[in-house]
Amino acid sequence: MGKTGNQYVEGWTIEEATKLFDKAYDKSLEDDYDFIGEVARDLRTYRDIFTYLVAKFPQLKSKYSEILSNLESNCFSHGKKGLIKDSLAIMNLKSNYKWTDRLSNDLTTKGKPINFGLKDLIDNEPKET
């Protein structure tokens, strides 16, 4: 998006970026999309443009969050209804929407594993009286 005479000049304006985000938002409401990359492809752009533009125009952050929320809901719904394979839905939700397995959170403390040795288990075992 360069300006005439200088191909290196940034061409994105808030108005152009808002139009792109509005189009992406509309697509995210459609039932065909589970992932921002699909929306970007159909808008003839690339997915990282959204994060770039949010950094450039922070006022677009809430619109971007709405887009991602819609796509996350689509993915969950499609997985629940069996419209996409469970493994694909799980991978997408974990990779792109920060979903985690509850069990993995229960086995750590502040991101560090809890180390139990055999001695700890024996020492903490209830004593018979």
Supply the DSSP string of 39-71, one letter for each residue. HHHHTTS-THHHHHHHHH-GGGHHHHHHHHHHH
Digitized pLDDT (tens) for each residue of the chain, 129 residues in all? 444 555 656 789 999 999 999 999 999 999 899 889 999 999 999 999 999 999 999 999 999 999 999 998 888 888 888 888 878 877 877 877 677 776 554 555 666 666 666 665 556 556 665
The strand pair at 112-113 and 108-109 is best described as antiparallel
The SS3 assignment for 109 reads strand
Rounded to two decimals, what is the model's pTM? 0.67
Domain boundaries, the chain: 14-100
